[in-house]
Structure 1
Amino acid sequence: MSSETDETGPIDYLVIEFPGSRMTGEGLPLLVDLVDRGIIRILDLVFVRKNQDGTVDGVELSELTANGQEDLAVFEGVSSGLLGRDDIDEVSAVLEPGSAAGIVIYENVWAGPLAAALRRSGGRLVANGRIPVQDILASLDAAEAGSRA
């Protein structure tokens, strides 16, 4: 393993659907902030729109800039090669007609040193997952309701 890949953090992906293609770009400055602070590194970033007839078009970053004030040039042409046409087609197949989506592949840079230390000590990832925020909120609401009973 090279020293660069030795310190690589976990790599995740997100697909965020925007029903009605209502992408405002409001979240993009927050994404820029995460990159600027070295928390994540964007490997791939693609936006698509699924038309009513089922065809899919790419969406340019310039179309998403909130009020034209954010400089998103840092994301122009971001492509590691991990996200391929097949992946985009797979995402597009689950989108509702008239919707848009952002697809992002990112490295969790913050976790790189920890991941490297665990690998050096013989550790290996055997499971991972994510708990949806809606499930956590429902569980907290149920616990709170139970404590009032």
Structure 2
Amino acid sequence: MSSETDETGPIDYLVVEFPGSRMTGEGLPLLVDLVDRGIIRILDLVFVRKDQDGTIAGVELSELTGGGHDELAVFEGVSSGLLGRDDIDEVSAVLEPGSSAGIVIYENVWAGPFAAALRRSGGRLVANGRIPVQEVLASLDAAEAGTGA
């Protein structure tokens, strides 16, 4: 196993829907910052739009960068091959008509050395997941209510 592969961090994906195709781009500088700081590495980044009649169309990064999001130009042509047409079709099927979505596949670079150390010591991942923010907030609210705070 090469050292680059050995140090690869976990790979995740996100799909973010924008109802009414209202993408403001507010989060884009933060995405660029995560990459610049070496926290994540973007492997695939695709934007799609679902018209009112259900037609799916890709949205080029240049269409987004033309709206003052020049920082996205660094992602132009980023494609690892992990995100296929079938994945885009699956995402598109759950989008509401008139919405857009961003699909991003990224490596958690920060976790690469940690994951490699665990693998070298014989560790293996047997489960992973994510706790929705809404559940965390509800749990914290319930704990606070129970303590009288």
TM-score (norm 2): 0.95
Taking a change above 3 Å as real, the CA distance of residues 145 and 32 of structure 1, as seen in their structure-2 partners, is same
How many Å separate the matches in 2 of 1:105 and 1:2? 22
Deviations 1:4-28 (A, max 9, x none): 1011000000001111111111111
Distance apart, 1:112 and its partner CA = 0.3
How many Å separate the matches in 1 of 2:67 and 2:112? 35
Distance apart, 1:65 and its partner CA = 3.8
Match of residue 71 from structure 2: 71
- The gaps in structure 1 that reach 5 residues or longer are none
Pairs within 5 Å for 1:1-149: 1-65=1-65, 68=68, 70-148=70-148
Distance apart, 1:64 and its partner CA = 2.8
User: Alignment identity in percent?
Assistant: 90
Structure 1 stretches of 4+ moved >6 Å: none
Q: Give the aligned length.
A: 149
For the 8 Å contact 1:24–1:64, the answer to whether it is kept is: no
Aligned-CA RMSD value: 1.4
For the 8 Å contact 2:32–2:71, the answer to whether it is kept is: no
Distance apart, 1:89 and its partner CA = 0.3
Distance apart, 1:46 and its partner CA = 0.2
Deviations 1:32-74 (A, max 9, x none): 0000000000000000011111110111223334951533211
- The gaps in structure 2 that reach 5 residues or longer are none
TM-score (norm 1): 0.95
Please give the secondary structure, in 2, of the residue aligned with 1:97. Answer: coil
